[in-house]
Amino acid sequence: MDYIKSWFEIKHYSRRRIIISGIIAVIFAIAAGIFTWCNPIYSIGWGLAMLAVLLFPFGFTENFPFLVRTAMLYGITTLLFILMQQTISCGIHNLSGLLLFMNIMIMYGLTSILWFATANMKTSILAVTAFTYLVAIVDHFVVQARSFEIQFSDLASFGTAMSVANKYEFVLYNETKVGILWGIILVTFVIMTKMPKAKRSVKHAVYSLAPVVIAFICGFIVFNQAFSSALGITDKYWKYRGSELNGFWVSTIYSASATRIVEPDGYESVDSSEVTLEAVLKKDPPANEVETPSDVPENTVGEKKPHVIVIMNETFSDVHNIASYFGNEMQTNVPVTPYFDSLSDEASNIIKGHAIASVYGGNTANSEFEFLTGMSMAFLPRSTVAYNFYLNDQNSFSIVDIFNEAGYKTVGMHPEDPTNWKRNSIYSYYGFDETYFKPDFGELPKETDWFRGHVSDMAVYEKIISLYEGCKESGESLFTFAVTMQNHGGYTTAGFEPTVKLTDRNKPKVDEYLSCINNSDIALQYLLSYFEHQDEEVIICFYGDHQPSISYLGTGYFNLTDDSTEGQRLAQYVVPYMYWSNNDIDSEVRKVTSINFLSGYLLELAGLEKTDFLELINQINKEIPVLTAAGWIDNSMNFTELSYTSKGLPHQLQLYSSLQYNALFDAENQLTGLFSNSVPAEEVTDETTGEILETLPEGTTKIVETDIAA
């Protein structure tokens, strides 16, 4: 007993200490009550806890054994993880014992590294506490901004996130406030308690580094996806589900493993000079090969081609129509998008429908990537952004190449920082002739040039009209891809006066969002009215990139709950699309499709030759209307959930996945001829007679209907 007593340094009370501690505890209790607006009993409890900490009567001496110090660090780290989960606002009640242990050990590894480096328990605990709370609060806010948590891949898009974060107004939930209050009490305890410093020795190194080894093993097991099923790791990203079901640290490390690129099921790398689509999939050639007919004329040199304008409108979605579909009419003081709704797809110059996006509430660049390349986020890790991780100047095949080859003046446009999602580099890889970012828009002196602090849709459209006028004068055809900005979240803009308001409920964020797309509707009418009276043919493709991160739209109008399935959540991924022309247009576009399929139909409308890859994508769309990161929908409208490493895909999707992998990641065996119309051609001869049969781009193989329908 005397030996144990030697571990502690007993402190003496003083009247002054008691009075000061009491005053601080009372102030803390009152502040806690105001902070949380909770039952006064809880405030009294926090006040008493603070009082106990301030009056803590002893410290720890140098005799405190290393084993007990380790146990103490482990205990405090365990408490910190519990408080971290509380601060995130998900708790630990849904964690299995195994996942709880692994999260704590991973976090304990960090504490132990600091203990080894500093030999100071107090410094180590305080540093880990500060880091833990910073991460927890940021994660709490990230979910409010985009409806899913921090992912490992966010490290690559930190700059973009910071550039838009000041547009959001964040709210601390009461669970988070409670976690913060207990964290303050814990920090006070650590500061007030004397803790022993360790002398650097072999014993100190062993006791501090052994947990690091255990933490590394736990992290490795989580990172290796082969163990995910045995561990019970759930691949869920919605809101706080990752932390709730897996624990924050396990969920984050697991998301890091998801950034690894793996070969698709059945993929085989072969020499591009010998490759066939069958070889890519380790398939025997079909018995009856039938060449896919092409009803699209080859590009004609010197022929005046239609001007083509693509507008990916930031956060544009007809949520009022989706709500109506679910039987929940939005009661508003004025119509939300009266002009867009009035445009009928029965008109000879309009094709309208809905596309399902792969992203919700953010990661706009992924919708941009899918449209311009025809590739799909279904075959990339769901927590990543293609622009930040995968594209370079050797694999950025896109429709921009096709317009360049056809003699168009190609322009990429986004009225924001050029470094957002690395667009300055990506647009260069795509090969746009000209790019316009926010600095290139000039002074913009008119009131209508700005909306909620962003360059307005109207200003973007006036820039497009100016470019068109220049091309018209020079005899060029214009291709413009414009990404707008004015509707970007969050929807708490100071001094904003909404033009559209819900009349049956008070939801200011919804009001601001509806007012945003109402303003976009007005600008769209201005744009189409201008081109309606132009003599030269113009084709406009207009679509939204994703829905806004306003959770009430889902719960209040789309009948969604926290337990809704991925298939039910597709309602929050629906955006409208429209093809419009000042001439008649005709194409069999699916009324419900996904963004990756839209550009192929645009090329058909413009009379341009698609690459073999895009031709294949159009053929696949006849069998599979929708393909997104969440899953795919067949012609019977059956939804099948999909993850990056899904096995047993239908042959069409297996082929799609393999070719996309080849384009993006298999540089040594890249089948360039499938993804570009501009590669050097090689002659194909009859082996018997030596007669030249046809000329094909190098590395190209015929796409056959039996491949697509198999």
The verdict on 395 and 519 lying in the same domain is yes
547 & 639 share domain:
yes
Neighbours of 329 (CB within 10 A): 11
49 with 89, same domain: the answer is no
The last residue of one of the domains, among 591, 626, 645, is 645
pLDDT at 211: 86
Asked if residue 68 belongs to a domain, the reply is yes
Confidence category of residue 38, pLDDT binned at 50, 70, 90: confident
Same-domain pairing of 220 and 252: yes
**Residue-by-residue DSSP string for 326-348:** TT----BSS-SSHHHHH--TTST
CA–chain centroid gap for 162, Å, is 15
Question: Across all residues in the chain, what is the average pLDDT?
Answer: 83
Residue that finishes a domain, picked among 9, 35, 62: 62
* In a shared domain, residues 550 and 676: no
Least confident of 86-100, 396-410, 597-611: 86-100
Note whether residue 300 is domain-resident.
no
Q: What is the CATH number of the domain that holds 506?
A: 3.40.720.10
List the structure tokens of 681: 């051609």
Beta strands in 221-321 (DSSP E): 307-313
Instruction: State pLDDT tens for residues 677-687.
Output: 875 544 444 44
- Structure pTM? 0.73
Residue 234, judged by CB atoms within 10 A of its CB (0-12, 13-18, 19+), counts as middle
Question: Does residue 200 share a domain with residue 112?
Answer: yes
The range of the structural domain enclosing residue 411 comes to: 306-645
**pLDDT tens by residue, 279-311:** 444 444 333 333 333 444 444 445 779 999 999
Do both 349 and 475 map to the same domain?
A: yes
Distance separating alpha carbons of residues 563 and 441, to the nearest angstrom: 45
User: Among 62, 88, 115, which residue terminates a domain?
Assistant: 62
Pairing of β 58-60 and β 434-437: unpaired
Give the chain's largest Cα–Cα span: 110
d(CA 246, CA 551): 22
248 is a domain residue:
yes
Angle between helices 97-118 and 202-223 (to 10 degrees): 140
Domain-located, residue 301: no
Within-domain flag for 425: yes
Distances (CA, A) of 405 to 81, 302, 673: 57, 12, 14
Cβ atoms of 460 and 482 closer than 8 Å: yes
| Residues 6+ away with beta carbon under 8 Å from 49 | 185
Q: Is 535 helix (H, G, I), strand (E, B) or coil?
A: coil
The verdict on 198 and 98 lying in the same domain is yes
Judge whether 297 lies within some domain: no
Long-range contacts of 462-469 (CB under 8 A, 24+ apart): 463/413, 463/436, 464/309, 464/413, 464/527, 465/527, 465/530, 467/409, 467/411, 468/307, 468/309, 468/531, 468/534, 468/538
> Does residue 358 share a domain with residue 273?
no
Helix (H) or strand (E) holding 277: helix 277-280
Burial (CB < 10 A; 0-12, 13-18, 19+), residue 658, is buried
> Any idea which residue has 């009993």 for tokens?
41
pLDDT band at 315 (very low <50, low <70, confident <90, very high): very high
Task: State the pairing for strand pair 350-356/454-455.
Answer: unpaired
* Structural domain total, the chain: 4
Q: Which of 59-68, 291-300, 458-467, 673-682 has the highest mean pLDDT?
A: 458-467
Residues 498 and 391 in one domain: yes
| 569 and 468 together in one domain | yes
Tens digit of pLDDT for each residue in 577-614?
999 999 999 888 889 999 999 999 999 999 999 999 99
pLDDT-based confidence at residue 205 (cuts at 50, 70, 90):
confident
On the question of pLDDT at 546 being above 90, the answer is: yes
Q: Looking at the domain assignment, is residue 431 inside a domain?
A: yes
Using the predicted structure, report yes or no on whether residue 52 has a pLDDT greater than 50.
yes
Whether residues 435 and 564 fall in one domain? yes
Listed in order, strand segments (DSSP E) in 484-604 are: 538-544, 574-581, 592-594
**197 located within any domain:** yes
Query: For 667-680, what is each residue's pLDDT tens digit?
Result: 888 888 889 887 55
Per DSSP bridges, beta strands 409-414 and 434-437 are: parallel
Q: How far apart are the first and last CA of the chain?
A: 79
Which three-class secondary structure state does DSSP give residue 55? coil
